Amino acid sequence: MNVVFAGTPGFSVPCLQALVDADGIEVVGVVSQPDRRAGRGMKLTPSAVKQAALDAGIDVITPERLRDHEEALAWLQQKQPDLLVVVAFGMILPKSWLEVPRISAVNVHASLLPRWRGAAPIERALLAGDEQTGVCIMQMEEGLDTGGVYARATLPVTAATTGPDLWAALAPLGASLLVDTLPAIAAGLQPEPQAEDGITYASKLKNEERQIDWSQDAVVIDRLVRCFSPAPGARTTVQGKWLKLIAGRVLARSHQCLPGEIIGLDNGLEIACGSGSVYCIEVLQPEGKKAMAAADYLRGAALKAGDSLTVL
């Protein structure tokens, strides 16, 4: 099978590599987003997928857009792909692109569809407290992740699972499921339509969602910390400066204090949360400094019980 692959971040690379390594599959081209400025020097840097394609000697293009881009469409048509495989590409594929592959255009989507259609399924599953998530191999169509599902694989989410944990586990899970499913698709496997109930949308994350609202339950705050740790990090403020929360835990105790109030300093920063719950910050990063244990931070911070953490 001739395959054209479309993807951008590091999450997509295991799927690309699995296709390159698979018997009977030839990756004839790769599409990725244009180079972006990154790092301290703000140098133009290729995406993880573009770099992987170059390392593998695969022809790669990086158009700014796909819609009404005749040159990019002609490139795809010239490749004569049997399959177009899309993994976290970051652009909407127009109908003209979906019609090119001889067999199908398929997407590796990091959720159990129809739950969490859209841009941020991994984070939304964790923030919502889902007890499981997974990946789906779905047939692409013009709707937002509405196509039928060829195959799915599940992954448990525990009270200790972090965002990086899910990214690290779902990428190889999707790669394995992809190479196992493509031969069946080529042989005529038909996708199963998505259920009409249970549809949720994983909207793109906003920076303000990383700011901690201490009036929420400690369990909800813990999910937020685990989702964004270590970067970009959930944030609060103390004494007018940002404080990034890297790790912590929900304590089995209650309080009658105002949300955000420091109620203990012995085992970390113990903070009063909504519904009488308590969250203990164990690892943090003060503004302008490196991450450190809360105990180390407290040795140099003029904080006491009764002080409050807030949001600017």
Question: Which residues define the annotated binding site?
Answer: 111-114
Rounded CA separation 116/198 (Å): 9
244-270 exposure pattern, b = at least 16 Cβ within 10 A, e = fewer: bbbbbbbbeeebebebbbbbbbeebbb
Strand pairing of 2-7 and 83-87?
parallel
> Which residues does the annotation place in the binding site for (6S)-5,6,7,8-tetrahydrofolate?
111-114
Contact (CB, 8 A) for 62 and 69: no
Reading the block at residue 152, the tokens are 């799915």
Contact (CB, 8 A) for 185 and 104: yes
